[in-house]
Amino acid sequence: MAIREKLRVLKSAQERTQQRAQASLKKPELKVSEALRRLETYDSSEGHFDRQERISGWNQEKLCSAHAVILGAGTAGNYLAAGLSALGLGRISILDTSRELPKHEDFLSFLCSSSSKAESLEEAVENLIDKSVMVRIDSMCAGIRSLPGLGKIDFIIDASSSYASKEGSLAYCSKNRIPYISISADSERCLVSAAMPGSPGSPGSPGSPGSSGSSSSQYSLDDRMLLFEGKRQGIIPSGIAAGLALDIARKFLMPLKNDVMPDEEILYTLCSPERIFYGDKIKMENYEANHEAKGYSIEDRVLVAGAGAIGNFAALALSLSGFKNIDIADFDSVELANANRQVLICDRDSIKRGRRKAEALADRISRISGLNVSPIIGKVVDSEQELDSYDRNNGIIAVTEDFVRSRSYRMIIGGVDNPYARSCLNRIAVSMQIPYFDAGTDECSGAVRAYIPGKSGCLECQTGIYGIAEEWKKRKAERDSCQLNDKAPSVVTSNMIIGSALAGEALSAAAGLFPSLSAVSYSSASRHPLFVSGIGTAQKQGCPCSARH
């Protein structure tokens, strides 16, 4: 879509939002002429939302005209605000009663210092790449009593750690027939539940909230939320919970063809190798690390391969869950079309300068975590000969087995976007006998697979990655020769969930928790959107990966 056409759509959507919003706003509306100037500042062939608009049935206008309320500006609230603005929600209101300073885990607002938690988060989202063109964000140092003053609300996500807040927000939603999502998190687990007006499990039908005549009897509070009362929200569980909540909200606002709405509470926990539980089967086990059995440590030097959307969320979560020595490798540069999902690196300056993703991400995470995270401008390849003259002229180095050995990495965290790089990382990990945690996503699903020498089979044994990589290389050569555009559709939700789950698997291996030896998977087409699948211990005959010692 041309910039002017896009603006016309955005403008009409925004006008409708404005008409609906009754609340008094602190900020004047952005003039369309100003918005156009800002958009034209970027010399990019792809726009901000292009990657998600490639998804079949996607309707950006619907998102642009919606109003979301986030209760709680803690870690989970930070993920929600980042995700909603990346998606391009028309209006986001943030409510939090706290005047405490943001913590490191409040990864966006940590770098801001307004007088309240909610305002710091508002300021932080404003600082993200020109969301102000499409997204209006307001905040209040206030609680649920201020909800009636916010005008028409399309959905509320209560991400607070207060049972009283959840009780109040649920009652408000129930009375006003507003979709309600609750997320709770502590350092090892998260609980997600939702209540929608209309029948559950039918995202094809809700359309406009409140229009359905069926009962709203699903509005009841889960007592298990009490276990999270006042708890500090952990970075990994918060990312997973927020990603799942955003997915539910998106399905409600803008259902896509294969969507299925989850119909039970979801628990994700690092305290059990089963990892994910639903509804009545939820077990709130207590965490007991087995430090004897781990073999790996959060002190180990780890390589994060890929600074794209998965890498953004994985590196963030690793750095804030205790990993101390993190290097990030990527050769790509930041561009406007990344802004709908790579929330940590798409600031105005990085896009304008076409900064390297590895540099922008390492920089950002160093500032948030206080660690010294190092960038590597490098490409994952089997051998140095695979680099072409463009790579060499642009200072891109080869991330090969020799390189990984020379840096003494003890773990590889893979967020790469193609099977060839995956196959290279797998060969390196098998040869060096170090764990390789791999993640991949598309617009509606994703999976994390773990290769832990002696415990599970490698990626070749689990998925046959070498054959897939060969096939991919052949097709890529064909595409390149026809100069076809092969940019895949992509969205923030699957990356937030899977990037966080990727860090979760690495952490559980390094901290003596319970690594899941099955794939941790996500699918928006399942009523159980997060699940474990496959048997990671399988080993192909002749593969040197030593699945079992």
Q: Which residues bind Zn ion (CB under 5 A)?
A: 457-458, 460-461, 543, 545
Question: Based on CB atoms, which residue is closest to Zn ion, 259 or 460?
Answer: 460
Dist CA 306 CA 486 (whole Å) = 18
Q: State in angstroms the smallest separation of the CB of 55 from Zn ion.
A: 34
Measure the CA dihedral 492/496/498/504, to 10°.
170
Nearest by Cα to 18 from 152, 123, 132, 142: 152
Question: Based on CB atoms, which residue is closest to Zn ion, 379 or 449?
Answer: 449
Q: State in angstroms the smallest separation of the CB of 541 from Zn ion.
A: 10
- Containing 249, the helix (H) or strand (E) segment is helix 235-253
Q: State in angstroms the smallest separation of the CB of 473 from Zn ion.
A: 20
Q: State in angstroms the smallest separation of the CB of 244 from Zn ion.
A: 31
Question: Based on CB atoms, which residue is closest to Zn ion, 222 or 382?
Answer: 382
Is residue 162 a contact partner of residue 225, using CB atoms and an 8 Å limit?
no
Question: Based on CB atoms, which residue is closest to Zn ion, 323 or 437?
Answer: 437
Query: Phi, psi at residue 197, to the nearest 5°?
Result: -70, 140
Taking residue 406's Cβ as centre, other Cβ atoms within 10 Å add up to: 9
Nearest by Cα to 15 from 64, 50, 63: 64
Instruction: Look at residue 393 and give its three-state secondary structure.
Output: helix
Q: What is the DSSP string of 360-390?
A: HHHHHHHHHH-S-PEEEEEEE-SSGGG--HH
Q: State in angstroms the smallest separation of the CB of 99 from Zn ion.
A: 54
Q: State in angstroms the smallest separation of the CB of 416 from Zn ion.
A: 18
Dist CA 220 CA 227 (whole Å) = 17
Sheet holding 519-523, edge to edge: 397-399, 374-380, 325-330, 301-305, 411-414, 436-441, 445-451, 519-523, 530-533
Q: Measure Cα distances from 518 to 9, 469, 536 in Å.
A: 44, 22, 5
Name the residue number minimizing CB distance to Zn ion: 545
Q: State in angstroms the smallest separation of the CB of 543 from Zn ion.
A: 3
125: Cβ–Cβ under 8 A, 6 or more apart, which residues? 81, 82, 85, 92, 108, 131, 135, 137
Question: Based on CB atoms, which residue is closest to Zn ion, 329 or 429?
Answer: 429
Q: Measure Cα distances from 65 to 269, 376, 509 in Å.
A: 35, 40, 43
Question: Based on CB atoms, which residue is closest to Zn ion, 492 or 545?
Answer: 545
Question: Based on CB atoms, which residue is closest to Zn ion, 69 or 404?
Answer: 404
Dist CA 111 CA 126 (whole Å) = 12
Dist CA 101 CA 89 (whole Å) = 26
Dist CA 174 CA 204 (whole Å) = 21
Question: Based on CB atoms, which residue is closest to Zn ion, 203 or 457?
Answer: 457
Question: What's the angle, vertex CA 371, arms to CA 241 and CA 103, rounded to 5?
Answer: 45
Question: Based on CB atoms, which residue is closest to Zn ion, 364 or 455?
Answer: 455
Q: State in angstroms the smallest separation of the CB of 222 from Zn ion.
A: 41
Q: Measure Cα distances from 190 to 68, 247, 268, 480 in Å.
A: 21, 15, 5, 44
Q: State in angstroms the smallest separation of the CB of 449 from Zn ion.
A: 12
379: Cβ–Cβ under 8 A, 6 or more apart, which residues? 331, 386, 387, 391, 396, 397, 398, 399, 421
Q: State in angstroms the smallest separation of the CB of 75 from Zn ion.
A: 37
Q: Residue 31 has what DSSP assignment?
A: P
Q: State in angstroms the smallest separation of the CB of 522 from Zn ion.
A: 24
Question: Based on CB atoms, which residue is closest to Zn ion, 80 or 412?
Answer: 412
Question: Based on CB atoms, which residue is closest to Zn ion, 265 or 460?
Answer: 460
Q: State in angstroms the smallest separation of the CB of 430 from Zn ion.
A: 6
Question: Based on CB atoms, which residue is closest to Zn ion, 459 or 497?
Answer: 459
